[in-house]
Amino acid sequence: MSFLSAKFLLYVAAVTFLYYVVPKKKQWIVLLLASYFFYAAAGVKLLAFLMCTTLSTYGCGLLVSAIDLKYPDRKEKMARQRPVILATLFLNFGILFVLKYMNFVIDLVRPGAGHVEWALPLGISFYTFQSVGYILDVYWKRTEAEKNPFRFALFVSFFPQLLQGPIGRYSRLAKQYKEEHSFSLLKLEHGVQRMLWGYFQKFVLADRAGVVVTEVFNHDLNYSGITHITAVLFYAIQLYADFSGGMDVVIGIAEILGITLDENFRQPYFSVSITDFWHRWHITLGTWMKDYLFYPMSLSKWMSKYGKHAKKVFGKRTGRIMPIALSNIIVFLVVGIWHGSGWKYIVYGLYNGGLIALANLCTPLFEAMFRITKIDPKSRFMHVVRIIRTFILVLISFYFDIAGNLRIALRMLKASVTGFTFRTLTDGTLLTLGLEKKDYLILLFGVAAVFTMSLFREFGHDIRLDVDRKALPVRWVFYLILFFSVPLLGMNNIVGGGGFIYARF
């Protein structure tokens, strides 16, 4: 059931109605049934994978918790808990690996041997990570194991977030599912407001920018370097508007139901470094990686050994940073692989991890440079320079994300710096990329709208509160403009496409 279909809106309306008319204690049951029905609509067979992850992580949580109570001795406890956890991780990541990466492995081992054709269960990357986070939280005693399998099933399958996240934490979500929620018009207003803003970004910006991206990245040899740069800029618009728009729709629906999901974006294009970018972009994936991979790895025995070795080889200062740098590279390698199978994703991850590691290692150098040149790194000017620098670095990473393969990405990157002429921007080439002049104007208007909103948020403005404070007629006009601008300015979907990009994960 596409998030963009009328059927989905009707479904959300029906679920909301049922949710608020049943006795409050049964509300979570409505959500569970609605989530499973939603999932089954995409294919009943795929439910098996969702249920397998649900049952295995639920069982693992109970078992780990029971061992914790039964064995007071820490060593014995860990010796018994670890095999259970490892087996569950192996099972769940194994399913994800086989379904998502098998063809990539086949290509590596036996090129040309043909691919295995199977349907990828919806949102498998999201619900696997969310469930695995839960068992590690139970193991580390950050949360208690859920005893009710059905409540746990809701945590794994909550339908708005199932397809494209945000990757939720049990400690924050479970209690909200247990709480009793009363209908409130304000919640409805806020939820619809957020959904409309999400659809605006998706239809007006993402789908329109995507036309240029598809054309140029599919036929890169037909275009010069400046067109490649334009296309990657458009991809930055498309990806942000698509993913952030999708998140707004998801969070808006949850808000109507009284559930507060974690935010996934915080003005990422205002980041001052790649580290900062990953704190603002796909935040829940970043924090997941930090909590469940980066910290355990950085604090592990072998990393500590490596740190000691590095200190001997590179000196105390650099040696201290080396384990963190290595952890970052490994974490972002995983982030890259999470995004998809293929060398380009591996390079995408290594590029981000490498930049962060390099930045860590070069910090003393940068500090010295600022001292010598007497430039204040905290000045407003330097802040803007750092934003622009980071944005350029992010754009480079996007070549690997969107190009068909690594070879094309490198070829386009090379063309972007060696074969471009500014004349392309004015000689009408832009009008041959699938968009008309009016589309560029709408795009410009849309980007200005999103940029203004982001700027307000960056400076701490609560736009929603501003809207709430306006008089009713002003709010009505605002909502009518939003209601009509989505169909009026939105791009028509391409045949067979048009879904959210991250819903394919």
Partner 1 sequence: MRGFKPYLRVVLFLLLWFAISRFLDFGLIPWNYAESDIKRITTATYDDLFIGTSHGANNISPAAVDQETGRKSTNICLPREFPVDSYYLIKLACETGHKPDRVIYELDPTYWTLLEPQDANSYYIYRSFPLCLSKLLYFKGKTMHLDWRFTLSPWRDYTDRFKDFFQLIRQKTTMDHETFQRVHLDDKNDRLTEDGQIAKTITEGMKRGGYEEVIPFSPDRVQAGSLKWFLNIASFCKKEGIGFTVIRTPVPKETREHFAENYAAADEYFTQLFGSYGISLIDFSKVPDPELEKSEHYVDADGHMDETLAAYFSTVLGKYLKKQ
Residue carrying structure tokens 């995409």: 42
By CB under 8 A, tell whether 473 contacts partner 1: no
Decide if 294 contacts 287 (C-beta within 8 A): no
Provide the residue count of the chain.
505
By CB under 8 A, tell whether 360 contacts partner 1: no
CB neighbours of 495 closer than 8 A, spacing ≥ 6?
none
- Which range in 107-115, 248-256, 331-339, 491-499 contacts partner 1 by CB under 8 A? 491-499
By CB under 8 A, tell whether 488 contacts partner 1: yes
φ and ψ of 188, to 5 deg: -65, -45
By CB under 8 A, tell whether 6 contacts partner 1: yes
Q: Which of 216, 492, 502, 505 binds partner 1 (CB under 8 A)?
A: 492
Q: Which of 375, 476, 478, 504 binds partner 1 (CB under 8 A)?
A: 476
Q: Which of 338, 433, 490, 502 binds partner 1 (CB under 8 A)?
A: 490
Decide if 357 contacts 329 (C-beta within 8 A): yes
By CB under 8 A, tell whether 472 contacts partner 1: yes
Q: Which of 9, 46, 89, 396 binds partner 1 (CB under 8 A)?
A: 9
What does the alpha-carbon distance between residue 495 and residue 207 come to, in Å, rounded to a whole number?
Answer: 12
Q: Which of 71, 306, 456, 483 binds partner 1 (CB under 8 A)?
A: 483
C-alpha separations of 317 from 274, 303, 304, 361 in Å: 22, 16, 15, 9
By CB under 8 A, tell whether 498 contacts partner 1: yes
By CB under 8 A, tell whether 495 contacts partner 1: yes
By CB under 8 A, tell whether 486 contacts partner 1: yes
Cβ nearer to partner 1, comparing 203 with 223: 203
* 3-state helix/strand/coil string of 202-251: HHHHHHHHHHHHHHHHHCHHHCCHHHHHHHHHHHHHHHHHHHHHHHHHHH
Q: Residue 72: is the preceding peptide bond cis (ω within 30°)?
A: no
What does the alpha-carbon distance between residue 259 and residue 172 come to, in Å, rounded to a whole number?
Answer: 10
By CB under 8 A, tell whether 8 contacts partner 1: yes
Cβ nearer to partner 1, comparing 140 with 476: 476
Q: What separation, in Å, do the N-terminal and C-terminal C-alpha atoms of the chain show?
A: 16
Min separation Cβ 318 and partner 1, Å: 55
Residues 161-200 that bind partner 1 (CB under 8 A): 185, 188
Cα 344 to the center of its chain, rounded Å: 18
Min separation Cβ 199 and partner 1, Å: 8
By CB under 8 A, tell whether 44 contacts partner 1: no
Residue of 492, 440, 385, 454 lying closest to 209 (CA atoms): 440
- Which range in 5-13, 262-270, 276-284, 381-389 contacts partner 1 by CB under 8 A? 5-13
- Which range in 420-428, 444-452, 455-463, 487-495 contacts partner 1 by CB under 8 A? 487-495
C-alpha separations of 404 from 36, 60, 141, 211 in Å: 34, 39, 43, 15
Min separation Cβ 258 and partner 1, Å: 17
Q: Name the site residues for partner 1 (rule: CB under 8 A).
A: 2, 4-10, 185, 188, 203, 472, 476, 479-480, 483-484, 486-488, 490, 492-493, 495-496, 498
